[in-house]
Amino acid sequence: MHLGSIYLVVNDFEKSIAFYEKLLKIPVTFRNLDRFAGFNFEGHCIAVLNAHFDADNPDKIVRKGKNADSSNALREIALAPNPNKFAFNFWVEDLRAEYERIKKENMTENLTEITYICVVAPYYSFQLYDPDGNLIEVTGGYTPEEGEFDE
């Protein structure tokens, strides 16, 4: 088995595209109408799937098979409260520089401070959320300032 894509079912397609273009620092690699857009990212595809496209455009969809119609299910997923059971984890060489870049990009809504976490092995991270409430954790190389995490 090989990973094809990771699809994020999104409520606001254009807002999600703009968010991930800023976060990943790359433009959309490919787009299928306004149904989905993909980012080829380090050998894998992260795609945003417009949950409303199928239901809003039945004339553009050909479906065959018993369970082929998922248009309303996708919309229901996008409109449901996010249970936060999914998280992206990205690793960067310089966590402090990435944190400052995220702030400079004005992606500060729900942005946490950099924290120290130790469960068997210590690491540093910060978190933010995408427009649909999916958790994004960014980890990486970090040297704390003197006294930064002293209690």
Residues of the domain holding 23: 6-79
In a domain? residue 1? no
- Residue 71 has what pLDDT? 67
Q: Both 63 and 16 in a single domain?
A: yes
How far apart (Å, rounded) are the C-alpha atoms in residues 51 and 49? 6
**Total domain count for the chain?**
2
pLDDT at 68 over 80: no
Residues 32 and 66 both lie in one domain: yes
Above 80 in pLDDT, residue 84? no
Q: pLDDT above 90 covers what percent of the chain?
A: 64
- Whether residues 38 and 63 share a domain: the answer is yes
Task: Choose among 49, 46, 51: nearest CA to 78.
Answer: 51
DSSP string over 117-134: EEESEEEEEEEEE-TT--
DSSP state of 80: S
Q: Identify the pLDDT of residue 86.
A: 83
**pLDDT tier for residue 42 given thresholds of 50, 70 and 90:** confident
